[in-house]
Amino acid sequence: MPPQHWDTPLDYEVYGALGHVIGHGSVVVHDDSVDMAQMARFALEFCALESCGKCTPCRIGSVRGVEIIDRILAGRDRASQVIALRDLAETMQHGSLCAMGGMTPYPVLSALDHYPEDFGVDHERDRTAAAR
Amino acid sequence: MNATELQRPASARALGDDTDYGTPARAGAAVSLTIDDREVTAAAGTSVMRAAIEAGIEVPKLCATDTLEAFGSCRVCLVEIDGRKGYPASCTTPVEAGMVVRTRSPMLEKLRRNVVELYLSDHPQEDTPGTNALRSLAQSLGAGAERYAGGATHLAEAKDESNPYFAYDPARCIVCYRCVRACEDIQGTYALTVSGRGFASRIAAGQDQSFMASECVSCGACVAACPTGSLLEKSVLARGRPEAATVTTCAYCGVGCSFRVETKGEGAALEVVRMVPHKAGHANEGHACVKGRFAWSYATHADRVTRPMIRERIADPWRETGWDEAIAFAAARLRAIQAEHGRDSIGGITSSRCTNEETYLVQKLVRAAFGNNNVDTCARVCHSPTGYGLKQTLGESAGTQEFRSVDKADVIMVIGANPTEGHPVFASRLKRRLRQGAKLIVVDPRRIDLVDSPHVKADFHLQLKPGANVAVINALAHVVVTEGLLDADFVARRCEQHTFVHWRDFVALPENSPEAMEPHSGVPAELVRGAARLFATAGNAAIYYGLGVTEHTQGSTMVMGIANLAMATGNVGREGVGVNPLRGQNNVQGSCDMGSFPHELPGYRHVSHAAVRGQFESAWGVPLAAEPGLRIPNMFEAALDGSFRGLYCQGEDLVQSDPNTQHVAAALSAMDCVIVQDIFLNETARYAHVFLPGASFLEKDGTFTNAERRISRVRKVIEPLSGYADWEVTQLLANALGYPMRYAHPGEIMAEIAALTPTFAGVSYAKLDRLGSIQWPCNGAAPDGTPTVHFDSVAHGMGKFFITADVPSDEKSTRRHPLLLTTGRVLTQYNFGAQTRRTENVRWHDEDRLEIHPVDAEARGIRDGDWAGIESRAGDTVLRATVTDRVAPGVVYTTFHFPESGANVITTDSSDWATNCPEYKVTAVQVTKVTQPSEWQQRYRRFAAEQERLFRSRRQSDAAVAR
């Protein structure tokens, strides 16, 4: 969640209206030296660790998600891998059997959307490049 | 559309319909909904997926298959439903009235493609000969895995090739769980699971063991369920993808599974690739066991004898010859014997493995061409008491139900049967019902698997002493009668009152109480009382029984006792109840139906019945003998006596299967002309003068009748290796004897059977093709056959009760023979092993072992694996011992799948009073520790080796196998 939303009341519907999601009650505290890309990667890695393995979007998707973020951070095929990450996020959100796979993409996407610099991604630059 | 009941029975699959509907069928009220702008109707409880596919709308799927309940893991079948959030899986969503569903939309296409892309990122690029639903789906969606290249995969994992018949390639596994679900819900063995979690999820057998080392029973359900060929038949890997399929019926046990024989090539190059259980098969509904599914290579084994052979004396080497000479030789010998010793000096034995048409021809040969009634069948030694006992009490020589009936049973009593070994596909169905909550009573001297296995536990195990069957059934009946548990209404309506009253008074006597019977039976009285109360009060009660009931001196008595109990508790004549004999062989029911008994014409009518005999006389064109002929045991006696000297034996190994082997061998040695028709040179052939090569079930057309009275087609896939099907050989012999037979096709034989046998009147090959199978009676009253014999029809007659006084066998434990031996079977070997010993099934069971209780073993200094000598009053043999507490102290047990075990050397000629069914199940024996094979075994080895030499050194014929 970007700084401009930090005064939002902690309410499911209010967050939902902003496109954010409140999870199941855990609170992660960090200071401003945090690397949001690493947090996004950790969300996917945690999903892979916890995954029961029954449904494919989560079982395979969580592992692939970590691999994609690693490629993005290494600067390999960054533009297309960002697209892949968004596709994967959508697949996991809508295709997962349960909310674990279904909700994991939210922190990943909000990190990518609001803290792209930690990913080495410049949305403006990428949009312009895509338009060309 | 009006809300009518859509009654769709569980297997409402049209013949020839191979569609996979995704989830199982349901029966229920009709529900209307809209799918892709089309009005669709489905039964309540049906999944949206199935409703769509039934309406012709394709829904992609990977983890769904209609033999298993929905699972919802692949996420490929997602749909959009108006008013519902997200993209629900259509397999796990039941239909609801007024639902509006879309199976196509840009988002759904995208999601499907992306999910398939994820699958592909951990899947090999190369194909195998197996079909791969993932690859087909990827192609149709245009999905590839390039975006994820270089990520973690399971492609380097080692294959499991431990099972001789199928391989597991983990690289191809998509973790859809179909194999695990099949092993649980269809087979009921629970051998498979997924070990590891998340990405590390992998299919595991047992405790992360190889398939072979685990509890896997190699039924192949997982292989059939696997959508990607990760589990695949080794024969497909070796021979390539099959090109064509023929539906036929298994030639092993009395379940009579329907199979698709999948083949490749044509004509002389045709080969069988695999046997796949047929989903539309009424007896098995897509399931099978290791034998029918995989152990079929015996049909083309090198041991197949494909040329006729003759010899003057059994000490001579065999001489190969052409058909004409062999048949002429046999016919001349038989007539010469009759000329010298009389018309009754020869006879025949029909096969319970050959088709109905073939059996019919053999008994017709004996009756019309030999001119006597000396014909018998192997049912003599297994279920003849069923024929007698059920005819007396219930009026029909067969079971009353179909297998599906067990789905409605509330309590099931299994007596003297081991279905997980002997009728595995039925056992899977039974176990499923038990997992749903039905209760189980097991009456068996051994702790069979059914007593305690995954998710199945007997509520009562009455572990009786061998020989105490009638005591126990009388004690159970005593409880029913004296504790007011009779179904008085049923008895009054459907049973003869005077027989009932006599029986009731008899069974109520104090000497028939569980307490009085306890010392004799070895079963604690309160267990008997508990079991009886459960049986009489739990609702629908069904009895399933096997050779542990019939192969006793009181076999017929016990069958009648079972029928008495069923009638007294009103458990006859509808679904979910009944008296169910588990017929063993693929066509033993058929063989009995076809008039193989010396006293009965086809359809179980006595030969002395003038009107019936007259019908056959005019159809067959010759006078027929009115007196019953010799039963098999009588044939042996008469042979030793010198009055019975010629035998035509089709598809039956008397020397190995009949009791008292030495007696049988002596009888055969005394004969002048023994003709054996079989696919292998069996033990009986060692005493034969003429060997006529037989045909396996793959090589002929015909029908088999299973334990449900279900007649199914057997269809030829390969040309007979010997040039003739078995029925053609019988026809050749008949013609050579001067009795003309001119059938061009087995369908003509069935037409003759139908014309002469009222219970078969409506049976024809055309109808069989149309319906798939027919359960007799099939006639004007029941043109499509009779699944359940309903006791309520007046035409059926009233049930009769019979007094079943316990007359204990002479086979009692004595000081000299203090232990009681009983016998049984294992899953992977079939009867005396002629077929299964010639397949990879020997990997599971390669010798017969003697099970002995630790207490008895210790007293004799016998440890597990030691050689144990077993001696009875009939003979002795040696087996390796398995020390186990499956048997009670005082009881020993063995199987009889290997001829060198000589299990029947020890069994005696005690037999059932009514039918002469041998008492295989009770033999008094002594067991001692030994260091060398028995004298019989040494003689057997010498004799067998000599006969082998005579076979190998046979003068081979250059003549082509000519027709």
Q: Which is higher by pLDDT, B335 or A28?
A: B335
Return the number of other C-beta atoms located less than 10 Å from residue B20's C-beta. Answer: 15
Q: State the nearest Cα–Cα gap between A43 and chain B, in angstroms.
A: 15
pLDDT at A2: 80
Instruction: Quote the tokens at residue B509.
Output: 């006597």
Name the more confident of B538 and B658.
B538
Q: Would you call B107 an interface residue with chain A, using a CB distance cutoff of 8 Å? A: yes
Q: What is the pLDDT of residue A30?
A: 86
Q: Could A55 and B151 be called an inter-chain contact, meaning their C-beta atoms sit closer than 8 Å?
A: no
* Separation of alpha carbons B662 and B657, rounded Å: 12
Q: How many percent of chain B have pLDDT more than 90?
A: 81
> Rounded distance, CA A93 to CA B135, Å?
25
Nearest to A95 among B111, B148, B201 (CB): B111
Residue-wise pLDDT for B283-300, tens only, equals: 999 999 999 999 999 998
Cα separation, B839 vs B628, whole angstroms: 40
- CB distance from B155 to chain A under 8 Å? no
Q: Which of B233, B335, B209 is nearest to B294 (CA)?
A: B233
What are the two backbone dihedrals, phi and then psi, of residue B346, each rounded to the nearest 5 degrees? -130, 165
Question: Which amino acid belongs to residue B798?
Answer: M
Handedness of CA B941, B946, B950, B953 (dihedral sign): positive
**CB of B814 within 8 Å of any CB in chain A?**
no
Q: How far is A46 from chain B (nearest CA, A)?
A: 11
A96 HSE (CA, 13 A, CB side): 23
What distance in Å separates the CA atoms of residue B761 and residue B753, rounded to the nearest whole number? Answer: 8
B75/A95 Cβ within 8 A: yes
- Name the residue among B512, B487, B489 with its Cα closest to residue B803: B512
Which residues of chain A make contact with B152, given a CB cutoff of 8 A?
Answer: 63, 67
| Interface with A, mutate which of B63, B111, B118, B154 (most A CBs under 10 A) | B118
Give contacts of B86 with chain A, Cβ < 8 Å: 94
Query: What contacts B211, CB < 8 A, 6 or more positions away?
Result: B160, B162, B163, B166, B168, B205, B218
**A95, B72: Cβ pair inside 8 Å?**
no
What does the mean pLDDT of chain B come to?
Answer: 93
Q: Distance between CA atoms of B23 and B20, rounded to whole angstroms?
A: 8
Contact residues on chain B for A97, CB-CB shorter than 8 A: 72-73, 75, 89
Note whether B887 and B856 are within 8 A (CB): no
| Complex prediction ipTM | 0.93
Are the Cβ atoms of B198 and A48 closer than 8 angstroms?
yes
Assess whether pLDDT exceeds 90 at residue A16: no
Q: What is the pTM of this model?
A: 0.91
Residue of A nearest to B111 (CA): A91
Query: Phi/psi of residue B649, each to 5°?
Result: -115, 110
As a whole number of angstroms, the distance between CA B792 and CA B794 comes to 6
Smallest CA-to-CA distance from B78 within B98, B96, B63 is with B63
**Which of B72, B150, B201 shows the shortest C-beta gap to A59?**
B201
**Residue B866 or residue B934, greater confidence:** B866
Indicate if the pLDDT at residue B259 is higher than 70.
Answer: yes
**Core vs surface per residue A87-122: b (16+ CB within 10 A) or e:** bbbbbbbbbbbeebbbbbbbbbbbbbebbbebbebe
Q: Cα distance from B233 to chain A (closest Cα, Å)? A: 26
Asked if residue B248 lies in contact with residue B263, where contact means CB atoms within 8 angstroms, the answer is: no
Of the candidates B666, B117, B469, the residue with the CA atom closest to the CA atom of residue A83? B117
Residue B399 in this model has a pLDDT that exceeds 90:
no
pLDDT digits (tens, 9 = 90+) for B545-555: 999 999 999 99
| Residue of B75, B86, B151 with shortest CB distance to A67 | B151
Q: Please tell me if residue B121 touches chain A, with a CB cutoff of 8 Å.
A: yes
Interface test with B, best of A51, A63, A66 (most B CBs within 10 A): A63
Residues in chain A within 8 Å Cβ distance of B114: 87-88, 90-91, 95
pLDDT band at B846 (very low <50, low <70, confident <90, very high): confident
Which whole-number Å values give the CA distances from B420 to B217, B290, B395, B431, B892, in the listed order? 10, 12, 29, 9, 20
Q: How many residues does chain A have?
A: 132
Interface membership of B87 toward A (CB under 8 Å): yes
How many other C-beta atoms are found inside a 10 Å radius of the C-beta of residue B493?
13
Please give the helix or strand (H or E) that residue B876 lies within, else none.
Answer: strand B876-883
Whether the Cβ atoms of residue B15 and residue B280 lie closer than 8 Å to each other: yes
Give A-chain residues touching B150 at CB under 8 angstroms.
Answer: 67
Give the span between the Cα atoms of B618 and A77, in whole angstroms.
91
Helix (H, G, I), strand (E, B) or coil at B190: coil
Closest to B905 (Cα-Cα) out of B821, B839, B796, B962: B821
Cβ atoms B851, B892 nearer than 8 A = yes
Asked if B270 and B699 count as a contact pair (C-beta separation under 8 A), the reply is no
> CA–CA separation, B276 vs B260, rounded Å?
5
Tell me which residue in A56, A64, A87 faces B151 most closely, judged by beta carbons. Answer: A64
Q: CA of A25, closest CA in chain B: separation in Å?
A: 23
- In the DSSP assignment, the letter for residue B160 is B
Q: What percent of chain B has pLDDT over 70?
A: 97
- More confident call, B330 vs B813: B330
Q: Report the residue from B75, B111, B200 with minimal CB separation from A55.
A: B75
- Rounded Cα gap, residues B955 and B554, in angstroms: 49
DSSP assignment letter at B365: I
Which of the 8 DSSP states describes residue B609? -
* Cis before B777 (ω within 30): yes
Contact in structure between B320 and B954 (CB atoms under 8 Å): yes
Q: Which residue, among B63, B80, B115, B228, would best test binding to A if mutated, counting the most A CBs under 10 Å from its CB?
A: B115
* Both tokens assigned to B903: 């299990």
The tokens for B686 are: 């060692």
- Rounded CA separation B850/B867 (Å): 9
Banded model confidence at residue B962, pLDDT cuts 50, 70, 90: very low
Contact list in B for residue A54 (CB cut-off 8 A) is 73, 177
Give the tens place of pLDDT for each residue, B111-128: 999 999 999 999 999 888
Q: Can you tell me which residue has the tokens 């490749």?
A: B264
CB pairs under 8 A between A and B: 90
Of B87, B121, B151, the CB nearest to A95: B87
Contact A48 B199 (CB under 8 A): yes
Considering only CB atoms, which chain B residues are within 8 Å of A87?
110, 114
**pLDDT tens string B694-733:** 999 999 999 999 999 999 999 999 999 999 999 999 999 9
- The verdict on A100 touching B (C-beta cutoff 8 Å) is no
Listed in sequence order, the DSSP H helices in B214-278 are 221-225, 234-239
Are residues B353 and B585 in contact, defined by beta-carbon separation less than 8 angstroms?
yes
pLDDT tens readout for residues B30-88: 999 999 999 999 999 999 999 999 999 999 999 999 999 999 999 999 999 999 999 99
The answer to whether B538 touches B410, Cβ cutoff 8 Å, is: yes
DSSP per-residue letters across B275-318: EEE-TT-TTTTT---HHHHH--GGGG-TT---S-EE-SSTTSPP
Residues 750-789 of B with CB under 8 A from A: none
Asked if B84 reaches chain A (Cβ–Cβ under 8 Å), the answer is no
Q: Is A87 near chain B, with CB under 8 Å?
A: yes
User: Would you place residue B796 in the very low, low, confident or very high pLDDT band (cuts 50, 70, 90)?
Assistant: low
Judge contact between B654 and B684, C-beta under 8 A: yes
- Is the Cα dihedral B773, B775, B777, B782 positive or negative? negative
Option in A50, A56, A90 nearest B118 (CB): A56
Total residue count of chain B as it appears in this document: 963
- B595 Cβ contact partners less than 8 Å away, ≥ 6 residues apart: B360, B363, B375, B601, B602, B603, B604
Predicted confidence at residue B791, as pLDDT, reads 64
Please judge whether B86 and A94 are an interchain contact, meaning their C-beta atoms are less than 8 angstroms apart.
Answer: yes
> For residue range B935-947, what is the model confidence (pLDDT) as tens digits?
888 888 888 888 8
Tell me which of A55, A69, A93 to substitute to probe the interface with B (most B C-beta atoms closer than 10 Å): A55
Q: Do A63 and B152 touch (CB under 8 A)?
A: yes
**Residue B16 in this model has a pLDDT that exceeds 90:** no
Contact status, residue B191 vs residue B215, Cβ threshold 8 Å: yes
| Residues of B with Cβ-Cβ distance to A60 under 8 angstroms | 118-119, 121-122, 199
Residue B404 identity (one-letter amino acid)? R
Please give the residue of chain A at the shortest CA–CA distance from B146.
A84
Q: How far is CA B161 from CA A23, B232, B653, B832, B933, in A?
A: 46, 10, 35, 28, 36
Q: Is the pLDDT of residue B519 over 70?
A: yes
Dist. CA B693–CA B676, nearest whole Å: 8
Contact B290/B828 with Cβ under 8 angstroms? yes
Quick one: pLDDT band at residue B793, thresholds 50, 70, 90? low
pLDDT band at A26; cut points 50, 70, 90: confident
* pLDDT, position B908: 85
Distance from CA of A21 to the nearest CA of B (A): 16
CB of B358 closer than 8 Å to CB of B650: yes
The model's pLDDT over B768-791, given as tens digits with 9 standing for 90+, comes to 999 999 999 999 999 999 988 876
CB B643 within 8 A of CB B637: no
Q: How far apart are CA B351 and CA B731, in angstroms?
A: 15
Given a cut of 50, is residue B1 above it in pLDDT?
no
Structure token digits, residue B699 = 């090589």
B106 Cβ under 8 Å from any chain A Cβ: no
Where in B99-165 does DSSP place strands (E)? Answer: 100-102
Which helix (H) or strand (E) covers residue B905, if one does? helix B903-906
Q: How confident is the model at residue A132 (pLDDT cuts 50, 70, 90)?
A: low
CA distance B144 to chain A (A): 13
Report chain A residues whose CB lies below 8 A from the CB of B147. 80-81, 84
What Cα–Cα distance (Å) separates residue B841 from each residue in A72, B110, B218, B294, B427? Answer: 55, 48, 10, 9, 20
In this complex, the residue of B78, B89, B198 whose CB is nearest that of residue A52 is: B198
Contacting residues for B852 by C-beta, under 8 A, at least 6 apart: B862, B868, B881, B882, B883, B884, B887, B892, B927
Per-residue pLDDT tens over the stretch B725-752:
999 999 999 999 999 999 999 999 999 9
